[in-house]
Amino acid sequence: MDHNSFKTFSAKPPGVPGGVEAKWYVVDAENQVVGRLASRVAAVLRGKHKPEYTPHVDTGDFVVVVNADKARFTGGKETAKEYFRHSGYPGGVTTMTPAVARQKKPTFVVENAVKGMLPKNRLGRQMLKKLKVYAGPEHPHAAQQPEPLEL
Provide the number of structural domains found in the chain.
Answer: 1
pLDDT at 3: 67
Residue 86 lies in a domain: no
Residue 142 lies in a domain: yes
Residue 4 lies in a domain: no
Counting other chains too, the contacts that 77-83 makes at CB distance below 8 Å and 24 or more residues apart are 83/108, 83/112
Residue 119 lies in a domain: yes
Residue 133 lies in a domain: yes
pLDDT, mean of each 10-residue run, the chain (151 residues): 75 85 94 95 95 92 95 95 96 96 95 96 96 95 92 75
Show Cβ contacts of residue 76 under 8 Å, excluding neighbours closer than 6 positions: none
Residue 59 lies in a domain: yes
CATH number at residue 127: 3.90.1180.10
Residue 15 lies in a domain: no
Query: What is the domain range of residue 29?
Result: 23-73+106-148
pTM: 0.90
Q: In this predicted model, what pLDDT tens digit does every residue of 66-86 receive, in sequence order?
A: 999 999 999 999 999 999 999
**DSSP characters over 14-71:** TTSTTPPPPPEEEEE-TT-BHHHHHHHHHHHHHTTTSTT--TTS----EEEEE-GGG-
Residue 38 lies in a domain: yes
